[in-house]
Amino acid sequence: MEEKGISLAVIRRLPRYYRYLGELLENEVVRISSKELSEKMNVTASQIRQDLNNFGGFGQQGYGYNVEYLYNEIGKILGLEKKYNVIIIGAGNLGQALANYQDFERRGFVIQALFDVNPRLAGVSIRGKDVYLIDELETYMKEHTVHIAALTLPKTKAPQIASDLVKWGIKAIWNFAPTDLNLPSDIMVENVHLAESLMRLSYKLKTHEEAMQKKE
């Protein structure tokens, strides 16, 4: 299976396919045509075929897609066959919200522990996950296998903690701090920049209103 040169846009869409197929599975749908899938997902049928052809197809002329098979195959492409140990750095509201998502665990992302600078949070347990003082992070990293660290920290603190984590062996960071981390290229980073998402919404509102005014 050739996965070279897969565009970022395809990679953005794959988890969405996975989510839809999961919903179809829950509703006990056995197969679906690319046309039906495209209507449900608001993407053209040829786009879907093209996206999936990047990974070798999976469809069958005249039959469409077998939902469970396609769901499992996309899961494999996304690396969801494995279990990932996740720690959360920053046990404020956002860190606690992440620790409370049961959906993550279903997909193999197992939250192991939270860390915070606030001594009042240390010792607390969130859905069975302990909160440790940040000073204990180095020892924790030495004694446990951690695949992913989620950073729910202020932007002033995130870059230093991120580079410490890299020193202690982390390979992937899920960054919620509103800043870029500038880590070595072999460290995988996925950013969730909430303020930027909100600005895209105000951009859409503004351009939509302008278009409406022109029509009048």
Residues that bind a second copy (CB under 8 A): 3, 11-12, 14-16, 18-19, 23, 42, 77-80, 82, 84, 92-94, 96-98, 100-101, 103-104, 107-109, 147-148, 171-172, 174, 178-180, 186, 188, 190, 192-208, 210
3-state secondary structure 129-166: EEEEEHHHHHHHHHHCCCCEEEECCCCCCHHHHHHHHH
* Closer residue to a second copy (CB): 49 or 107: 107
CB of 62 to a second copy, least distance (A): 28
Counting Cβ atoms within 10 Å, is residue 64 exposed (0-12), middle (13-18) or buried (19+)? middle
How far apart, in whole angstroms, are the C-alpha atoms of residue 10 and residue 19? Answer: 14
Of 78, 114, 82, which is closest to residue 190 (Cα–Cα)?
Answer: 78
Contact partners, residue 8, CB within 8 Å, separation at least 6: none
Residue 79 assigned as binding residue: no
Do the Cβ atoms of 151 and 98 come closer than 8 Å? no
The residues, ordered by sequence, that sit 6+ positions from 1 with a Cβ below 8 Å of its Cβ are 55, 56
Rounded least distance, CB 134 to a second copy, Å: 19
Nearer to a second copy, 135 or 196 (CB): 196
Residue 72 labelled as part of a binding site: no
Contact 164, 137 (CB under 8 A): yes
Task: Tell whether 91 is in a known binding site.
Answer: yes
The answer to whether 57 is a known ligand-binding residue is no
Query: In the complex, what is the shortest distance from the CB of residue 164 to a second copy, in angstroms, rounded to a whole number?
Result: 19
Q: Closest CB to a second copy among 8 and 61?
A: 8
Say if residue 56 carries a ligand binding annotation.
no
**Residue whose CB is less far from a second copy, 99 or 113:** 99
CB of 38 to a second copy, least distance (A): 14
> Binding site annotation covers 75?
no
Which residue's CB is nearer to a second copy, number 99 or number 161? 99
Cβ of residue 57: shortest distance to a second copy, in angstroms?
A: 19
Binding site membership for NAD(+): which residues? 90-95
